[in-house]
Amino acid sequence: MAAIELDTTKNAVPFDRANIPGPKMAKAIKADLAGKLISKARRPLLIVGTAGADDGVILVVKRMAEKGIPVAATGNSIKRLKEEGIDATYVNLHALVSYLKDPGWKGFDGKGGYDTTIFLGHTYYYASQLMSTLKNFTKIKIISIDRHYHPNAQQSFGNLKPDDFLKTLDMVVAEL
């Protein structure tokens, strides 16, 4: 079975080769563990970048939204997400991280901030820098389920091939 053969912890080097932030870098994890971590979150937020609206990936976003995970649509992903009937809130990613680091922010639903952020479908270097804000100035968990290894997350996959990426996302959702 693919679930046994696919090791998502391989090739865990920054996708931008020189993007080595410092002593604290993401732990490379397996897909099922990512799914379990997300399912345990009290207040998760799925943050979907422009590439999160790509074919294949968007179906995973839809399934995660259907599991009750609120979706923040950054970049211009909101257009396709809405077309797919996914309930998402548009927000600029840079602004969102500033809200997330504010203890006074009530979240999109007014019920309070989020304890876990899940990044999917972002321009690599852009998301990396904004994960750095969360990493250094908040206690929020950062789980990257993107295709490439993100050192500024707490948990991330290694660099995955496109087909393996979609299989990996299926495995994440299976654990929710």
DSSP structure string for 66-106: HTT--EEE-TTTHHHHHHTT--EEE--HHHHHHHHT-TT--
Touching other proteins, residues 25-44 (CB under 8 A): none
Q: Give 39 or 76: the residue with its C-beta nearer to other proteins.
A: 76
Q: Residue 46 CB, nearest distance to other proteins (Å)?
A: 16
Q: Cα(122)–Cα(48) distance, rounded to whole angstroms? A: 7
Nearest to 59 by CA among 140, 174, 169: 169
Q: Which x/- pattern over 82-121 shows residues binding other proteins (rule: CB under 8 A)? A: xx-----xx-xxxx-xxx-xx-xxx---------------
Q: Residue 144 — φ and ψ, nearest 5°? A: -95, 125
Q: What is the DSSP secondary structure assignment for residue 26, as one 8-state letter?
A: P
- With tokens 């901030």, the residue in question is 113
- Binding segment toward other proteins, per CB under 8 A, in 22-30, 38-46, 59-67, 112-120: 22-30
Q: Residue 25 CB, nearest distance to other proteins (Å)?
A: 9
Q: Residue 167 CB, nearest distance to other proteins (Å)?
A: 19
Q: Cα(133)–Cα(128) distance, rounded to whole angstroms? A: 9
List of residues contacting other proteins (CB under 8 A): 13-17, 21-24, 49-50, 74-76, 78-80, 82-83, 89-90, 92-95, 97-99, 101-102, 104-106, 122-126, 129-130, 132-133, 135-137, 159
